Amino acid sequence: MSDTATPDINIDRSRGDFSFAEDYAFDAGIGLREDTIDYISNVKNEDAWVREFRKKALKMFEDKPLPTHWATKDLENIVFDDVRYYLAKGQKASRSWDEVPDDVKQTFERLGIPESERKFLAGVEAQFDSEAVYSRMKEELAELGVIFVGPHEGLHEYPEIFKRWFGKIIPSGDNKFSALNSACFSGGSFIYVPPGVKVAQPLQAYFRINAENFGQFERTLIIADEGSEMTYMEGCTAPRFDTATLHSAVVELIALPGAKIQYITVQNWSNNVFNLVTKRGMAMEEAEVRWIDCNIGSRLTMKYPGVVLKGRKARGEVLSIALANDGQHQDTGAKMVHAADETTSNIISKSISVGKGRSSYRGLVQIPKHLKGCKNNTECDALLINTNSRTDTYPAINVRGDHNSVQHEASVSKVSAEQIFYMQQRGMNEGEAMSLAVNGFVNDLVREFPMEYSVELKRLIDLEMEGSVG
């Protein structure tokens, strides 16, 4: 992948904790019914097959139970009938920042989006509640045939590419929340990189929830054609409300032979957000899909980026950091499905539990009996900060046959009072000592993040560790 500098995205939680009163031109009301689906389809002027796709997904969502048999029972606190499933100020994303409505522009300017675009990005999309309000890509990339639009435009303007892969990597019935997304999807990104094109600068989307009692359901589809390379980054924030907010995205990545996709997430939702996301990529022959995943905010996150290694010598990697503070549960992990010879996968997970926070690693590695020359490495390490913090590890590694190599290691450690006392004797206060211990724990993984992300992650850890001991 390119070593080009990536943007400085501030993930300080307090930066996103604000909201403005909004007048929405389009509002589907509260609750999810068939007429909600009809409203969304009518507003978007969708073809009949899309409306039917949504309604079939709605039936799947209604029929599937909540996954409380293995996940936290906190899901039962979501009242789906109280959620607003579609809110938008307008239907078309502006190509000029000056055309964005002033109140929305004010929100994104406080989050630093235009500045990042000018300095670092090849293209940016800013989504406000249900729809993108701004979308622009550098002209030289468009001349090379790169497509970077929302899924609505993808459906209408590039159906021969979009329909071939849409819903193929993650079908609607994959799980209850992929079905919910398929029924209500709005916003997100559709990206296509032509054969041999290497996008040197990242493309970025920024997802902002502004409304209370709201559900955001963006849909992202990225296709890297043969021999192409690209990096995509997403950032997420929402203000803190007393009521629950729902975020349920679906992300599908397709790396065709020899292509490389790197997908970077910095998720910094406020602590009332249920973040329930399905992400999966497919890597063809000698292709690579790499997820870099940072989960800091939310009340509950359930997210397990996966790669189906479908072509010979395909490579998949998930690097993740999760930090759970008081009132948070980070249930994260990775899935690697080997489906061809000589495929390689790597999973490295670091979790930190602070106060009464809970982190869980949930992983899956599958290598069938008939394959040869496959390799997997899995490392999941957890750090407990307080006596009331909690961590759980649920690795599932299913390897058959005698011609493959798998290694797994896991550790759980605790920062001791003696360590903190030792550092305090050398002039550090309690928060500084804890920050040093935690940064040392994640340092080998943070080095894999782009430089600007590494700086911000360390800065956020410093903020989280203040007053964390005791």
Question: Cα torsion for 19, 21, 27, 29, to the nearest 10°?
Answer: 80
Task: Name which of 391, 396, 394 is nearest 367 in CA terms.
Answer: 396
pLDDT digit string, tens, across residues 89-145: 765 555 555 655 565 556 555 555 545 545 555 566 667 777 766 666 678 888 999
Residue by residue, pLDDT tens for the chain (470 residues) are 444 443 333 344 444 444 444 567 888 999 999 999 999 999 999 999 999 999 999 999 999 998 876 656 788 889 999 999 998 876 555 555 565 556 555 655 555 554 554 555 556 666 777 776 666 667 888 899 999 998 999 999 999 999 999 999 999 999 999 999 999 999 899 999 999 999 988 888 887 777 788 899 999 999 999 999 999 988 776 666 667 789 999 999 999 999 999 998 878 777 888 999 999 999 999 999 999 998 887 899 999 999 999 999 999 999 998 989 888 999 999 999 999 999 999 999 999 998 889 999 999 999 999 999 999 999 999 999 888 889 999 999 999 888 999 999 999 988 877 888 888 888 888 778 888 888 788 887 777 766 656 666 666 667 666 655 54
Can you tell me the distance from the alpha carbon of 246 to that of 276, in angstroms, rounded to the nearest whole number? 8
**79 DSSP 8-state letter:** -
Q: What's the whole-model pTM score?
A: 0.87
pLDDT digit string, tens, across residues 51-89: 999 999 999 999 999 887 665 678 888 999 999 999 887
| Non-local CB neighbours of 444 within 8 Å, separated by 6+ positions | none
Can you tell me the distance from the alpha carbon of 250 to that of 242, in angstroms, rounded to the nearest whole number? 26
Q: Say how many C-beta atoms besides its own lie within 10 A of residue 142's C-beta.
A: 12
Give me the DSSP letters along 34-72: HHHHHHHHHHHT--HHHHHHHHHHHHHHHHSPP-TTTS-
Domain spans of the chain, in order of start: 13-465
Residue 148 structure tokens: 């970077």
Tell me the residue type at 399: V
